[in-house]
Amino acid sequence: MKVFKFGGASIKDARSVRNVAHVLNHFPGEEILIVVSAMGKSTNKLEELVNCFFHQQDNCQQIIEELRAYHFEIIKELFPADEHRVHNDIEILFSQLEIITQGNPQNTFNQVYDQIVSYGELISTKIVSSYLNSNSYQNKWLDARRLIRTDQNFRFARVDWNFTARLLKDTIKEGNRYVIQGFIGSDDDLNPTTLGREGSDYTASVLGYVLDAEEVVIWKDVPGVLNGDPKIFDGTELLHRISYREAIELAYYGASVIHPKTIQPLQEKNIPLSVKSFLHPSEKGTVISKGADLEPLLPCFIKKDKQVLITIATRDLAFIVEDHLSKIYKVFHQFGVRVNMSQNTAVSSSFCINYDAMITPQLIEELSRDFDTSFNENVRLYTVRHYSEEALSRVKKNGQMLLEQTSRNTYQVVMA
């Protein structure tokens, strides 16, 4: 069995949904489990609805109407006959959404969030599954709320692997094809939960792991994983192969490749993860698997905006020693802040972190209690993996260097 994941952009309108069928036609007779996100940007719209309902504002009905209009425009194009069952199925889901948002919120924000936002995937999968069935791609619709079991950490739920494996193995039968929601699951009481924004890739990985899939494919609007974001860097090229480890490294430094969480389970069972273009389904794209770091071995460029460079010095010009560092890292930990780059001198230490309007000022205040603290706001962090002289000179042109670091494989520079 293969697991295919189609994200919001790949089903954003009727033409895109038809293209999903076109992609699947390249795999005749294959057992495929299709994981689908919410259509287009509907998760963002549903988040607006959550805020509206939770804060009891009066435009909730209007937001529902916009969502309804968006989805029914797609349905009308895909199923011109009014009597098709999908019209009714989707109406039912929208009435449920209306009922939920009519009363007062009875639960915590995060629980209400999961209850409402999960409708994006329930609606999209009904549409995609019905469309495929009406185009002779027979498949069964699955309800992830009955199959992906999680804890009650609403909005950031963690998967109960054993229970989920049992549920899935009882349900998924050989020789069939299925359509299931990404991103959602439920707790033991069957309250809907979600796995964190952009969580559908992770769902695909969970399914791949549990069902010992032969591969997991993520279909995207790009040819695969490139050696830099083409919106930022010129002349980017396609990476044909990336090792699991290198993919995790790239994600760690901020590449929007694939979340490390998605890669880890697949790595454990040695299941390849491909990233392919839904516009060119016969092309190979990028395969993330066991083996050499990168093929071709190109420098990879990553840029992180909205960084803050904090420099911390001892008040009495004493050397910075382990004791100070452990104090400093404890503060970072307490504020849930990850250090993207750090460097020490005798009497000072510098740390590059993501700027957060809520957290950063408080963090700096806390550090200033014990140390002399200075900082540069609005700086950028560039990382180059597998650098060459030519690659470094390209990056160094981008501004005034504040802090630079080179290790065997990785070059990083903070720029004003």
Residues interacting with ligand ASP, by CB under 6 A?
Answer: 7-8, 37-38, 43, 120, 182-183, 197-200
Q: Smaller CB distance to Mg ion: residue 37 or 360?
A: 37
192 makes contact, choosing from ligand ASP, Mg ion, none, with CB < 5 to 8 Å by partner type, with: none
Residue type, 38: A
Q: What does 208 interact with, of Mg ion, ligand ASP, none (CB < 5 to 8 A by kind)?
A: none
Nearer to ligand ASP, 68 or 386 (CB): 68
To ligand ASP, the closest distance from the beta carbon of 199 in angstroms equals 5
Written as one letter, the residue type at 356 is: D
125 binds, among Mg ion, ligand ASP, none (CB under 5 to 8 A by kind): none
299 binds, among ligand ASP, Mg ion, none (CB under 5 to 8 A by kind): none
CB of 198 to ligand ASP, least distance (A): 4
Candidates 1, 3, 5, 8; binder of Mg ion (CB under 5 A) is: 8
In the complex, what is the shortest distance from the CB of residue 221 to Mg ion, in angstroms, rounded to a whole number? 12
Is the Cβ of residue 37 or residue 277 nearer to ligand ASP in the bound state?
A: 37
CB nearer to ligand ASP: pick between 278 and 387: 278
Q: Which residue lies nearest ligand ASP, judged by its C-beta?
A: 200
228 binds, among Mg ion, ligand ASP, none (CB under 5 to 8 A by kind): none
In the complex, the smallest distance separating the C-beta of residue 311 from Mg ion, rounded to whole angstroms, is 38
| Cα–Cα distance, 70 to 271 (Å, whole number) | 37
Q: How many CA atoms lie within 13 A of 188 on its CB side?
A: 5
Q: Which C-beta is closer to ligand ASP: that of 37 or that of 311?
A: 37
**Across the chain, which distance is largest between two alpha carbons, in Å?**
80
| Cβ proximity to ligand ASP, 218 vs 294, nearer residue | 218
> Is the Cβ of residue 158 or residue 197 nearer to ligand ASP in the bound state?
197
- Write down the least CB distance from residue 16 to Mg ion, Å: 13
Q: Which of 16, 37, 118, 286 binds Mg ion (CB under 5 A)?
A: 37
| Chosen from Mg ion, ligand ASP, none, partner binding at 285 (C-beta under 5 to 8 Å by type) | none
Which C-beta is closer to ligand ASP: that of 199 or that of 299? 199
Q: Could you give the CA distance from residue 337 to residue 330 in angstroms, rounded to a whole number?
A: 10
Q: Choose from ligand ASP, Mg ion, none: what does 19 bind? Cβ within 5-8 Å by kind.
A: none
User: What's the min distance (Å) between Cβ of 124 and ligand ASP?
Assistant: 8
Part of the chain binding Mg ion (CB under 5 A), chosen from 36-44, 78-86, 204-212, 322-330? 36-44
d(CA 329, CA 164): 36
Binding site for Mg ion (CB under 5 A): 8, 37
